[in-house]
Amino acid sequence: MKYNIRGENVEVTSAIKEYVERKIGKLERYFDTPPTSDVNVNISVYNDEQQIEVTIPMTNLLLRAEENHIDLYAAIDLVVDKLERQIRKHKTKVNRKFRQQGAPKHVFAELEREAVQVKEAEELEDDEIEIVRTKRFDLKPMDSEEAVLQMDMLGHAFFVFENSDTGNTNVVYKRRDGKYGLIEPS
């Protein structure tokens, strides 16, 4: 990390600079690879009160904390504690999200999505319609009640016939609720 330490109404001595770098440098232990971002530290003094502001911009995360205290070294310690809490909170959030993605409910949801995709792919392959049998028969003129009796006698789910009243080709079919339906051309 590159430190940019600035002082307002106070001279930044080498002792203060070393203390800030040592304390903030301890934050590197929370990262697998040390961050290469700049660390902006602003130290100011107003009416015997020391104020320190630390900003560490990183990818996907901005660490920022400020603290006021009578003692500058105590303020530095407090601001580093705040930054540590922010880092732990962020890491916990990231780890929780990672664990949830591997959780059973997410695994099952992913498996379900894959099953739907496989089914859709199979349906695309099944778009080729293959007719395996052709039947020919003469349409007998009859009414819809006789057509239903013929359908039941044959054990089929539908029956095509010529309507004796209109002369049109109609279809009777058995519905899922056990009743019958009639299809007529308009």
Greatest Cα pair distance in the chain: 110
Residue 109: is its pLDDT beyond 60?
A: no
Choice between 15 and 91, residue whose per-residue pLDDT is larger = 15
pLDDT average, residue stretch 167-185: 91
Task: Calculate Rg over the CA atoms of the chain.
Answer: 40
Would you tell me which CATH number, out of the four given (3.90.1170.40, 2.40.33.20, 3.30.505.50, 1.10.10.10), belongs to the domain 141-183?
Answer: 3.30.505.50
Percent of the chain whose predicted confidence (pLDDT) is above 70? 80
CA nearest neighbour of 37 among 89, 83, 79, 92? 83
- Indicate the pLDDT class of residue 100, thresholds 50, 70 and 90: low
2-101 and 141-183 share one fold: no
**Residue ranges per domain, the chain?**
2-101, 141-183
Predicted pLDDT at 123: 61
pLDDT average, residue stretch 28-44: 81
Angle at 177 between CA 172 and CA 183, to 5 degrees: 20
Strand 180-183 to 169-174 pairing: antiparallel
Encode pLDDT of 54-80 as tens digits: 988 877 778 889 999 999 899 999 999
Instruction: Determine phi and psi for 62, rounding to 5 degrees.
Output: -120, 115
- Its pTM stands at 0.52
CA nearest neighbour of 18 among 30, 7, 3, 31? 3
Strand 61-69 to 49-58 pairing: antiparallel
Predicted pLDDT at 171: 92
- Per DSSP, helices labelled H in 26-127 are 72-101, 104-125
Q: What is the dihedral of CA 122, 123, 124, 126, to 10 degrees?
A: 90
Q: What is the CATH number of domain 2-101?
A: 3.30.160.100
Distance (Å, whole) CA 66 – CA 41 = 10
Distance (Å, whole) CA 164 – CA 72 = 105
Distance (Å, whole) CA 152 – CA 66 = 86
CA 13 to chain CA centroid, Å, is 50
